[in-house]
Structure formats: C-alpha cells, structure tokens
C-alpha cells in the first residue's frame, strides 16, 4: 500500500501550438498510480502526435494510458478522441452521462446549437470567423464512450478520485478531485491567467449562474492544487484571500 501511494502523481502536460490567434498552450493532465495511467482531456482533432510527444516527454509512452476522461465536449478537449480510439482501441473512454451523447454523435454539439442561435446577432465583421468556427466544430469526428460518469462517482485512481459535476461552462461539465493529493483537475471550471486562478471566459459559459454555483460547490473541498487545461498548475486554495472574489 505504502509503495503504491509513493508512486501516485498528477502530471501536467504542456502542448504548444500555433493558430490564427498566435501561440497557444493547452494542458491535458495525467493521473498516474501503480495500476492506471489516466489522461484527462485530449486536445483538438489532429493532436494525437502532439499528445504522444508530450506524454513521452514525461516518460509515458502513449500506449501505457489505460483510460481517458473527457471533462466536456468542447473540441479542444475531445477533438482527438476519434483518432486515439483508432490507434489505441484498448483505452477506456469516459465522460459524463450528459456529455456522452454529444461526443458519440447521438446528439448535436451544444456549441453548434449555440452558434445556430447566435448567427443572426453576429456583426458582419465577425461572420467569416464564426463560420470557420462552425465548420471546425462540424468536422470533429464522433467517438464512442465506454463508461458514463455521474456526480459523486469515485474512481480508484490514486486511492480515490471523485467525479464532481461542475455545470455552467457546459451542462455536462465535470471536474476530477484526487483526494489524497488534494488536487482538482478543473477542465474549464477554472483557468489560470498570470499565475492566478480565474473563472473561465463567461462568454463561453452556457449558464453563468450555474458556473458560479459550481465554484461555490468546489469551495467545500479541501483543494491545494488546481490543474487547469488553460493555464496549467497553480497551488492555491479557494479559501485564500486572493480567491474570495471567485466565490461572490
């Protein structure tokens, strides 16, 4: 028991890439113990080679990954899932029960629905960009989900990893709390900007009140480290003075 605890760790991957907005970075996370190597979120379509390289730079051949958890169905978080499933069919893929039908193609992407609703209100100058975004979303290939997750589920990883429903950014959004390491893998419930924890861009929140309620819910957990997909790792606590404004 003691030995396996010593090997428990969370690795923050760093994937740097360039698009029309310039150089950008995303941070998929890996939860690793003696038995399992779990990747949380997996990047845009076409990102498998970047993922393989990033994992290898942390001494993890991609073939060692046993499971993938998708925090929500935005294409920067699950876009590469289809190609991963093709090359690594043994990896078990998990997502919340609300998100699974949007990932496996049974239901339309909520981002595309949002784009449909907003189309008429987009100023002319932003139209071309909005169309590009829609086309990119439509091009994401669906991928099957093996297991669906619910709020309060506890996976055995690192002695107990809790699934916390954190709706707001998307209704089916989940975060992962690795109890023994007091670490929260946030998905897009939080971001890190200039070394500080912040709420993700409210423009992309499907329900801002729900997003705020999710943050209040997370304040009940004893968290010392946040691993954010956008911004990376920050050691802080929601009870710190600097974070109080997040709870308002």
Residue number with CB closer to Zn ion (43 or 85): 43
**Other beta carbons less than 10 A from residue 111's beta carbon:** 20
- The count of chain residues that interact with Zn ion, using the rule CB under 5 A, is 3
CA distance linking residue 224 with residue 183, whole number of Å: 6
| Per-residue interface string for the shown chain with Zn ion, residues 93-132, x marking contact by CB under 5 A | ----------------------------------------
Cβ 152 to Zn ion shortest distance, Å: 24
Closest by Cα among 164, 141, 139 to 40:
164
Cβ 25 to Zn ion shortest distance, Å: 12
* Buried b / exposed e along 63-89 (16+ C-beta atoms within 10 A): eebebbbbbbbbbbbbbbbbbbbeebe
Q: Per rule CB under 5 A, is residue 134 in the interface with Zn ion?
A: no
Answer whether 71's CB lies under 8 Å from 175's CB: yes
CA distance linking residue 9 with residue 4, whole number of Å: 10
Q: Per rule CB under 5 A, is residue 76 in the interface with Zn ion?
A: yes
Q: Per rule CB under 5 A, is residue 41 in the interface with Zn ion?
A: no
End-to-end CA, the chain: 41
Residue number with CB closer to Zn ion (99 or 188): 188
- Tokens 């439509």 correspond to 138
Residue number with CB closer to Zn ion (17 or 242): 17
Q: Which stretch binds Zn ion (CB under 5 A): 55-63, 105-113, 186-194, 240-248?
A: 186-194
Task: Tell which one of 41, 52, 83, 188 touches Zn ion (CB under 5 A).
Answer: 188
Residue number with CB closer to Zn ion (155 or 231): 231
Cβ 77 to Zn ion shortest distance, Å: 5
Q: Which stretch binds Zn ion (CB under 5 A): 78-86, 131-139, 184-192, 238-246?
A: 184-192
Q: Per rule CB under 5 A, is residue 33 in the interface with Zn ion?
A: no
Cβ 79 to Zn ion shortest distance, Å: 11
Cβ 186 to Zn ion shortest distance, Å: 10
Q: Which stretch binds Zn ion (CB under 5 A): 69-77, 88-96, 121-129, 132-140?
A: 69-77
Per DSSP, 141 falls in state: P
Answer whether 1's CB lies under 8 Å from 8's CB: no
Residues within window 190-209 making contact with Zn ion, judged by CB under 5 A: none
HSE of 72 in the Cβ direction (CA atoms, 13 Å)?
A: 24
* Buried b / exposed e along 168-203 (16+ C-beta atoms within 10 A): bbbbbbbbbbbeebebbbbbbbbbbeeeebbbbeee
Answer whether 54's CB lies under 8 Å from 30's CB: no
Q: Per rule CB under 5 A, is residue 162 in the interface with Zn ion?
A: no
Binding site for Zn ion (CB under 5 A): 74, 76, 188
């Amino acid at each position: 028991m003691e030995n396996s605890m010593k090997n428990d760790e969370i690795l923050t991957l760093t994937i740097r890439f360039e698009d029309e907005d310039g150089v950008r970075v995303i941070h998929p996370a890996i939860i690793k113990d003696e038995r399992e190597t779990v990747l949380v979120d997996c990047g845009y379509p076409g990102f498998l080679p970047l993922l393989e390289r990033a994992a290898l730079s942390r001494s993890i051949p991609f073939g060692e990954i046993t499971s993938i958890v998708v925090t929500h169905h935005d294409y920067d978080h699950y876009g590469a899932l289809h190609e991963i499933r093709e090359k690594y069919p043994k990896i078990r893929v998990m997502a919340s029960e609300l998100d699974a039908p949007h990932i496996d193609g049974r239901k339309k992407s909520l981002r595309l629905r949002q784009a449909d609703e907003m189309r008429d209100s987009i100023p002319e100058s932003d139209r071309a960009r909005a169309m590009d975004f829609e086309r990119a979303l439509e091009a994401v290939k669906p991928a099957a989900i093996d297991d669906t997750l619910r709020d309060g589920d506890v996976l055995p990883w690192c002695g107990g990893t809790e699934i916390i429903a954190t709706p707001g950014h998307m209704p089916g959004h989940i975060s992962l709390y690795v109890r023994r390491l007091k670490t929260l893998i946030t998905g897009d419930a939080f971001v890190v900007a200039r070394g500080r924890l912040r709420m993700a861009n409210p423009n992309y929140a499907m329900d801002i009140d729900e997003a705020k309620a999710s943050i209040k819910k997370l304040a009940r957990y004893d968290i010392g480290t946040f691993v954010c997909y956008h911004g990376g790792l920050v050691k802080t606590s929601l009870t710190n003075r600097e974070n109080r404004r997040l709870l308002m």
